[in-house]
Amino acid sequence: MEEKQKVQVIFEFDREDFESLLSLKSQEEKETAEEVWNAMSKEPVVVNVDSLDEKDRHDVKVIMVSWAMYTTVDKLGNNMKQEVTFENQCNYE
Using one digit for the tens of pLDDT, what is the confidence trace for 3-41?
Answer: 778 899 999 999 999 999 998 999 999 999 999 999 999
What is the per-residue pLDDT across 54-86, written as a single tens digit (0 to 9) for each? Answer: 999 999 999 999 999 999 998 898 655 555 554
SS (H, E, C) 49-77: HHHCCHHHHHHHHHHHHHHHHHHHHHHHC
Please give the pLDDT value at position 46. Answer: 93
| Assessment of whether the complete model's pTM goes beyond 0.85 | no
Task: State the Cα–Cα distance between residues 74 and 67, nearest whole angstrom.
Answer: 11
